[in-house]
Chains A and B, each alone.
Chain A
């Protein structure tokens, strides 16, 4: 369905090269040589930002990462075998609002080149095989519907079957409402799979990145043997807007940030992106008994 332009906008002067940035997503401008940090306003040389793993060199703000960029950072030579890549969402409820669910899916597919909000792979961390699931927030807010639930569950089962450590990097607004109760039940499905994984004696490292909320936090993401969060990542059950509306007061600025959650005993570690791979590697080696 085409969006009609309101009449009031017909007569406004158009600027050339309009950059459309979603209101909530803080990302520096991707094109050009220079970027302005959306957090501190610092002008950063684009190449330096990429070299710095999408972390602002001045204020250390950790930008959201595409799943494939995350893969490059965490796995040896960025190499991996992806599985279940062809799984794609059906539209079981025939969900329709301003946009149909099918339209939302297609837009996200085009934007990200992914079939849904998670990729699941087998790869190596410091030469050791692991099963890894990485969520991508750009795909309908990293929401969990049937495909995310199924792929995560299969990844967990794959780790059980192959006796491999499990790493899940989450980034999600929660359960995907366009699939209704089928989405909610994915929380139970993934948690049941994790319960089975726990019996293997292998480590499950859960990494929470900005933001991880709702049904993903309230299921597999909170069930890691070790829970790591990136600095400043928003981590919680309810989103801040919902809480503010419920309690009718402004929330403190650091509320639900990784450091805040660390203080309340909800996570084990806050780890800078540049140290993330080394930390995961160390933990896996320790808990699998392969000390070095």
Chain B
């Protein structure tokens, strides 16, 4: 995996590089410095803790956008078995930024949908950096209906900077495609679980985001507008994005407080990419538990609760 350093990680990464060098020394010389290695490791742990346990919104944003952050397919491979990717919107295209298909979750049949970013520049270009066109949302709608027909619980992975703002996307009805998904998801007669694993960029994220349970990874974000976009509107200055990130209250903690999500899934210090299997394991457990619970609820109650859940969101005064 390529090394990638976020600004605030600098002190750790320097020490880590030093430690690696020491460890790489021949064993003969190493015996004399064993103590030093131990000391260094302790020091690193300490700094880790102090940096990562008090991350600001914009620092979390950097982790959410980390190039090595696990993507939808990483979790799909780790959590599920026999996944079959299904393609196309049956109108005019197949959007690689939004993927999906059926799979097994420990013997349970489910349908998976998710935004998919690339691992490198080449893949990112083919997947449009995880920014879907209407074709993607219409494929999602098709698979949602398929899931409903075969009574499969729906699991959605959210990880997108936003729906793509381009000429063709507008011509093909980006807004309508998103709106249709919002409407459909509110009435799908199957349990729906939403997992935000990285970026929750506005309407493009929400189009996979209506459901019965919504969880966010600790360092993911969910926002009405990108902090850059917000800063450019407020101050005509994108470099003030970190201020905007604070103001927008977009972290998992904020959104739990605002009662928009149901729970936060812990990540190892530094982010999910530092111990992917740990996070994958937790996600799997969360999915299993919640599907079991939701399958015990009658469809009428499920839909009623889903409506009520949306119905109560909002802050206003009334005389």
Contact = CB atoms under 8 A, between A and B. Distances in A.
Given A96-B247, A181-B250, A223-B183, A189 B170 contact: no
Contacts of B248: 93, 177, 180
B274 to A, nearest CB: 27
B258 A182 contact: yes
Contacts of A90: 315-317
Main secondary structure of the interface of B (DSSP, over half): helix
A195 B314 contact: no
Contact of A218 (B175, B187, B310): B175
A219 interface: yes
Contacts of B182: 187-188, 191-192, 218-219
Interface in B96-146: none
Contact of A195 (B169, B186, B203, B247): B186
Interface in A182-213: 182-189, 191-192, 194-196, 198, 213
Contact of A222 (B164, B179, B318): B179
Contacts of B209: 188
Given A86-B318, A90-B317, A189 B310 contact: yes
A183 B314 CA distance: 8
A80 interface: no
B310 to A, nearest CB: 4
Given A97-B235, A185-B310, A264-B171, A180 B176 contact: no
B225 A196 contact: no
Interface stretch (B8-16, B27-35, B226-234): B226-234
Contacts of A43: none
Interface string B282-319: 00000000000000000000000011001101111111
Interface in B197-252: 202-203, 206-207, 209-210, 222-225, 229-230, 233-235, 247-250
A6 to B, nearest CB: 16
A95 interface: yes
Place the interface of chain B in its size category: 35 or more
A90 B230 CA distance: 20
B260 interface: yes
Interface stretch (A130-138, A145-153, A160-168, A270-278): A145-153
Given A180-B224, A181-B260, A242 B165 contact: yes
B1 interface: no
A177 B225 contact: yes
A287 interface: no
22 contacts: A86-B318, A87-B317, A146-B313, A146-B315, A175-B225, A177-B224, A177-B225, A182-B313, A184-B223, A187-B179, A187-B203, A188-B186, A192-B306, A194-B183, A215-B203, A219-B179, A236-B175, A237-B165, A237-B174, A243-B166, A264-B173, A266-B173
Given A180-B254, A192-B311, 8 more contacts: A84-B318, A95-B247, A177-B225, A180-B258, A191-B210, A215-B202, A243-B166, A265-B173
